[in-house]
Chains A and B, each alone.
Chain A
Amino acid sequence: MGELDLKNLRIDYGARMIIRDFNLAVRNGEMMSLLGPSGAGKTTILKAIAGLLAPAAGDILIDGQSVRDVPPEKRDAVMVFQKPLLFPFMNVAQNIGFGLRMQGQPGREARRHIGAILALTQLEGLEHRKVHELSGGQQQRVALARALVLKPSVLLLDEPLSNLDANLRQRMRELIQTIQSETRMTMLFVTHDQSEALMISHRVALLLEGRLRQVGAPRELFYQPADPEVARFFGGRNFFQGHVRDGKLHSDLGVFPVGPQNGNGHVRTATIRPEDIRIAPRATGQSRGLRGRVVKTRFEGSSTRVVVACGANEVMVLTPEDAFRPGQEVEITVPPEKIRLFPGD
């Protein structure tokens, strides 16, 4: 079992309130990402769950039991830290076996478990290495193995991939995913990388400035952000205002059918993702697109970011074609079904 329930959590550092009104339920066997920019309070939350920080208010439940008065060493939650923090005076196998040894597990059984984890984390052959003789990625894997071997109900991972290069990052991410789906261990995976969160988890919880902003499946957060800030965090750039009348959004960028909506006539904010806008050189003939002029471009490899001035608005477009130059006259098309209209207040 491994159900994690955070209820009305508030965490302070001295007089500074870091986390407030934090509610989150992680289901048994779930892989949940806690996503947020640097300084949002992600590590703080993990430390509170692990018991290394005492919340100022609220409660933490593991499998329905409050663990507020349970010391870290007795909680069924193990944390993998942002840095590997291996014990420098032990070799790889001793590091991995540390928790088992603390629990008084007999040597033979421990060795069997360590062997299995070494295989799972692809560390075979390194068991007798000193930790300062390991690469950064190997150290991260030892830190992961050291926690996994305890088979905790809840595994807390604090940006375990942040110090790795892109290649190794992908391999480690896949490794963690495989381990998760094989063991069905409940995991709370902290990251500041939105694509990592979308790729790795069943559900994503977005934390901005100490507050939980939205929880949901990756596609939900990506396609139905709760508010403009959430959209912005996931790469949303084009925000515009308009008002809805008779199922249509009237805006500077045009009139779009949006289906029946409440709050007829009120000003509402809408957004369209840069990659959903179509762009083409301006045709001579008749067209229904919006006319604009390229302001600047940024080549990103597999795609190019193009900023287009349309009247008073600047629209950002992401296109696979590297065919546009500043000053060029273009035409953009906004597919109405891709417009996200934020709920009014």
Chain B
Amino acid sequence: MTSPLTTGADARTRKGPGGVALSLALLPALAVVLILFGGGFALGIVQALGYLPGAGLGEWSLAHFARVLSDPDFLHSFLLTLYIAGASTVIAAGISIPAALGLASLSKRSRVIHFIFQMPLTVPHLVIAIAVMFMLAPAGLLSRAATGAGWIASPADFPLLINDAWGIGIILTYVWKEIPFITLMLLAVLRHTGRDLLDVGRTLKADAWQRFRYITLPIIFPALGAASLIVFAYTFGAFEVPFLLGQTYPMTLPVWAYKHYSDIDLMARPEGIATGIVIALVVMAAVILAQVLTKAARKRGLIA
């Protein structure tokens, strides 16, 4: 995952002759991205529109989109995915705000705390999902520990936390993984402008709550919005965590798309791709919105 606060390099390099040279130098990399992503996307659209000659499907139509969108199971999946992504994002953001404020108020940067916060950023989601599985499964570490401690009579009494209807295992995985990401983004903003503006607020008679409400929140809002949208986009489109920790029905959209695409019935494949395109559209909308917020923040000098 890349930080939207660092992807803006092009916006600054665009100015001046040096920027042009840099843009030219980036062209090959851009071309690769465009061909791979854009090409794949175009190919996907073509297939979703029913053009799959190898499978004897040669006609163009919106029928697959229509079938996907009118399928009640699709709606279930869509709502489940929305719920999981939304809940993960809201919980992670809710914890990140006090965490960032706490870190920013430390007079000296604590390396240990920073290390603890940076660590989850480097661990792949898949690894965390497997760790969560070992911890929270009905026969997992926590359940056995609770039994051993006498809190529950047998592992069977342990609440269902993975492959459960509420997606608790999935959400926990995402929350653990995304808190550091959001927190560090907020911390950067608070360090950049926060302290001085809070001092100004103090001499202008704002009490602690007013400083939080009228200075801190507006300062962090663009970064909080951008980071949350990125997290939302990621959790909406991610496959491996719900695949491992989710229940069999309803599935999240990415799992549903994968199931259809890899179905032995080739007729299901366009539907899988159509679903994938729906996911891609949601993700793209979130990312574009995140960029808009980042741009606004930069214009106001909230971030470098």
Please pick, from A52, A89, A103, A146, the residue contacting B202 in the complex, using a CB distance under 8 A.
A52
- A103–B301 Cα distance when bound, in Å, is 27
Contact at B218–A89, with CB atoms within 8 Å? yes
B207 touches A (CB below 8 Å):
yes
- A88–B219 Cα distance when bound, in Å, is 8
Question: Which residues of B in the span 274-304 have a Cβ within 8 Å of any Cβ on A?
Answer: 299-302
23 A/B residue pairs, CB under 8 Å, sorted by A: A47-B199, A50-B203, A52-B202, A73-B206, A73-B207, A74-B205, A81-B200, A85-B196, A87-B197, A87-B200, A88-B193, A89-B218, A89-B219, A89-B300, A98-B201, A98-B214, A99-B204, A102-B204, A102-B206, A102-B210, A131-B300, A132-B300, A147-B204
- A89–B218 Cα distance when bound, in Å, is 7
A169 touches B (CB below 8 Å):
no
Contact at B204–A150, with CB atoms within 8 Å? yes
Contact at A88–B200, with CB atoms within 8 Å? no
A85-B197, A88-B302, A89-B219 known; A150+B205 contact, CB < 8 A: yes
- A98–B197 Cα distance when bound, in Å, is 12
The B contact surface, by secondary structure, is: helix
Chain B nearest Cβ from A140, distance in angstroms: 14
What 6 A-B pairs come out closest when comparing CB atoms?
A88-B300, A99-B204, A72-B202, A89-B218, A102-B206, A79-B203
B268 touches A (CB below 8 Å):
no
Contact at A99–B205, with CB atoms within 8 Å? yes
A77 touches B (CB below 8 Å):
yes
How many residues in B have their beta carbons less than 8 Å from beta carbons of A? 22
- A88–B220 Cα distance when bound, in Å, is 12
Residues of B within 8 A of A132 (CB): 299-301
Residues of A within 8 A of B218 (CB): 87, 89-90
B87 touches A (CB below 8 Å):
no
A51 touches B (CB below 8 Å):
yes
Chain B nearest Cβ from A82, distance in angstroms: 10
A316 touches B (CB below 8 Å):
no
Chain B nearest Cβ from A128, distance in angstroms: 16
Mask, A107-137, CB within 8 Å of B = 1, is 0000000000000000000000011100000
- A73–B203 Cα distance when bound, in Å, is 5
A residues whose Cβ falls under 8 Å from a Cβ of B: 47, 50-52, 71-75, 77-79, 81, 83, 85, 87-90, 98-99, 101-103, 130-132, 146-147, 150
Residues of B within 8 A of A102 (CB): 201, 204-207, 210, 214
Residues of A within 8 A of B207 (CB): 73, 102
Contacts A89-B221, A102-B205 given; 16 further ones with Cβ under 8 A? A71-B202, A72-B199, A72-B203, A87-B197, A87-B200, A89-B218, A89-B219, A89-B300, A98-B201, A98-B204, A102-B214, A103-B205, A132-B301, A146-B204, A147-B203, A150-B204
- A150–B200 Cα distance when bound, in Å, is 13
Please pick, from A52, A89, A131, the residue contacting B203 in the complex, using a CB distance under 8 A.
A52
Chain B nearest Cβ from A145, distance in angstroms: 12
B215 touches A (CB below 8 Å):
yes
Residues of A within 8 A of B302 (CB): 88-89
- A52–B202 Cα distance when bound, in Å, is 8
Residues of B within 8 A of A79 (CB): 203
**Which residue of the partner chain A has the closest CB to B199?**
A52
Residues of B within 8 A of A130 (CB): 300
**Which residue of the partner chain A has the closest CB to B300?**
A88
A88-B300, A132-B299 known; A83+B196 contact, CB < 8 A: yes
- A52–B203 Cα distance when bound, in Å, is 8
Chain B nearest Cβ from A92, distance in angstroms: 14
- A82–B218 Cα distance when bound, in Å, is 23
Chain B nearest Cβ from A3, distance in angstroms: 19
- A209–B114 Cα distance when bound, in Å, is 37
